[in-house]
Amino acid sequence: MATIQKKLALRWAPATVLLLAKFAIAQEPQQPTTEPSETRNSRLYFFDQPLIQALEFDDSIEFPFEQNALPEEDDPEFKRRLASINQYNEAVRATEFDGGVWDSSLTEDLTVLGSLLQQQGDHLQAIETFDRVVHISRINNGLDTLDQVPAVEQMIESYLAISDWEQADLYYNYLFYIQEKAYGSADPRIIPVIDLLATWNLRAFNIGFDEDLGERLSTAQILFSGAAQMVALHFGKSDERFTLYQRNIANTAYLVAKHPDLMRNLNSVDFRMNEEALRRKIGAGDQESSRGFQAGETALLEVLDFQRQEGDSPVALAEAIADLADWYLIFQRRRNASALYAEAWQVLSETENSEELLANFFGQVVPLPTFLAAPTSLVFNSSIARDTSELQVGYADVVFDVTENGIVRDLEVVGAEEDDGYNIIGKLRREVRGSIFRPIVKDGETIRTSGNQFRYRFWY
């Protein structure tokens, strides 16, 4: 309980406390506790949503554990930026000589300098530079000035690049504090920062950052709920963000239901009080206590009810129906799922380009849930180091049947690209066997299909 109180106090602390906390962190970097390499490389850490084998994975997607490649020193762009860095350093020194180290005109040069350092991969110097911008802004414009927001955002970018999750977490919450204080909880300008903080908490969960991962999911769910309600209030449910946030609520609800053991610490009185305070702070209401199946069902019903009553797109309606059907199928409510799949099929069959739409929706089995975009973490143990820079990536081509209820049967691995052979592939097989797929729907009926071939990407 004391741990939860301490963490929540830091998370929602005033800006001065947050900034002071930064300098209270020990200067000596702690070496992460890592498992022996032979054990580490035989452990499956993450696996991606599968793709039909003929398709290619999008390597441009920024996953939470991937490091950006450092620029080559013999690259002409590297040399050009280095020359620019030297020029801006000279300009900064000249301004300091004339106006002092807190001269407000320094912020422009320092901001450009920090961006150049980021591009060079020198994130520690970039952080130091943006930190100066923040302090100059605070000294000249007030402690809670919005002028510091861009610099804080770029500091976060560098902290993420060097996998300093603790500092990234600190400054994500500082961003929320600054903007909530400036705009208030009822101003729609606060929506983007609520979204940002919610997305970070979801990402932190997937990274495995924090001792209480269930708290991360709960916080993300509350924030997405508040963002959805604000969008509906100020812009209407037809705004595409409303559906996006409801699906994100369902995403967190799915993870809650999948990992009930991580939610044990959320029943304390102290956490519930802080949780209710956060709901009220962002206008998320104080009535919702469910986090798992019911929370996801409610979110997806919100979208479906809007599409049925006010929506003007049969495709959007069919998608909302199929999303809810998927949800029921995941939780083995098969009769409800079958009825909804039939309804979605009927809606699409009445459209002008029905053949193409039916093929896109129901002509191929689809891994569920459809909104689970990031690689799935398979290890939730705070004693395991979160330095994943040494993880290896592998691929496996898998063929299996999918029953009319979305269950995987007769699975066979037909090809794999990784060095550890049977051990890792055996673990991947178990994960795939436990997956649920949206089955093919033909003439409104879900059917069993064989020979479904997918490629999985995984990290070990």
pLDDT tens digits, residue range 71-128? 777 788 888 999 999 999 999 999 999 999 999 999 999 999 999 999 999 999 999 9
Output the pLDDT for position 386.
Answer: 54
Higher per-residue pLDDT: 67 or 355: 355
d(CA 92, CA 401): 65
Q: Are 223 and 233 in contact (CB under 8 A)?
A: no
Task: State the Rg of the chain over Cα.
Answer: 25
Which helix H or strand E contains 437, and what residues bound it? strand 436-438
Q: Choose among 242, 148, 252: nearest CA to 188.
A: 242
User: Which of the residue ranges 62-76, 209-223, 309-323, 402-416 would you say has the lowest mean pLDDT?
Assistant: 62-76
On the question of pLDDT at 351 being above 60, the answer is yes
Q: Which residues pair with 376 in a beta bridge?
A: 47
Higher per-residue pLDDT: 284 or 285: 284
Q: What is the pLDDT of residue 288?
A: 54
- How far, in Å, CA of 455 to CA of 55, rounded? 9
Nearest CA to 358 out of 372, 374, 345, 368 is that of 345
Instruction: Kindly indicate the confidence band of residue 45, based on its pLDDT and cuts at 50, 70 and 90.
Output: confident
- Which tens digit of pLDDT belongs to each residue from 380-395? 654 444 556 667 788 8
Least confident of 139-143, 279-283, 392-396, 441-445: 279-283
pLDDT value at 65 more than 60: no
What are the boundaries of each domain within the chain? Answer: 2-21+44-67+163-459, 68-162
Predicted local distance difference test score (pLDDT) of residue 9: 39
Tell me, what's the pLDDT at 453?
93
For 68-162, CATH gives 1.25.40.10
Res. 35: pLDDT tops 50: no
Residue scoring higher pLDDT (149 or 3):
149
Cα(385)–Cα(390) distance, rounded to whole angstroms? 11
The model's confidence at residue 243, banded by pLDDT at 50, 70 and 90, is very high
Its sign, for the CA torsion 214, 220, 222, 224, is negative
Stretch 167-176: mean pLDDT: 96
Q: 169, 96, 172: which is closest to 136 by C-alpha?
A: 96
Q: Given a cut of 50, is residue 194 above it in pLDDT?
A: yes
Residue 24 has pLDDT above 90, yes or no: no
Least confident of 125-129, 345-349, 368-372: 368-372
Distances (CA, A) of 404 to 216, 243, 347, 411: 35, 28, 20, 16
Mean pLDDT comparison of 15-24, 225-234, 377-386, highest-scoring range: 225-234
| pLDDT value at 39 more than 60 | no
What integer pLDDT is reported at residue 116 of this predicted model? Answer: 96
Note the pTM of the prediction, 2 decimals.
Answer: 0.84
Task: Supply the DSSP symbol for 407.
Answer: B
Q: Which residues does residue 402 pair with via DSSP β-bridges, in sequence order?
A: 408, 449
Q: What is the pLDDT of residue 371?
A: 87
Mean pLDDT of 181-185: 90
Among 109-123, 265-279, 286-300, 402-416, which stretch is predicted with the lowest mean pLDDT? Answer: 265-279
pLDDT for the residue 25: 31
pLDDT at residue number 20: 37
Q: How confident is the model at residue 438 (pLDDT cuts 50, 70, 90)?
A: very high
Cβ 416 vs Cβ 29: under 8 Å? no
Query: Which of 460, 437, 457, 292 minimizes the C-alpha distance to 379?
Result: 460
Give yes or no for residue 36 having a pLDDT over 50.
Answer: no
Amino acid 420: pLDDT:
54
Percent of the chain topping pLDDT 90: 59
Would the pLDDT of 42 be above 70?
A: no
- The predicted pLDDT at position 235 comes to 97
Cis peptide before 369 (omega within 30 of 0): yes
Residue 261: per-residue pLDDT? 84
Give 403-431 pLDDT, tens digit per residue. 999 999 999 998 876 555 568 888 889 99
**In which band, very low, low, confident or very high, does the pLDDT at 267 lie, cut at 50, 70 and 90?**
confident
* Token couple for 387: 């330095």
The stretches of 32-164 forming alpha helices (DSSP H) are 37-40, 76-99, 106-119, 123-141, 149-161
Mean per-residue pLDDT of the chain: 84
Q: Which of 23-32, 234-243, 272-281, 402-411 has the lowest mean pLDDT?
A: 23-32
Strands 408-417 and 51-52: unpaired
HSE, CB side, 13 Å, CA atoms: give it for residue 23.
Answer: 6
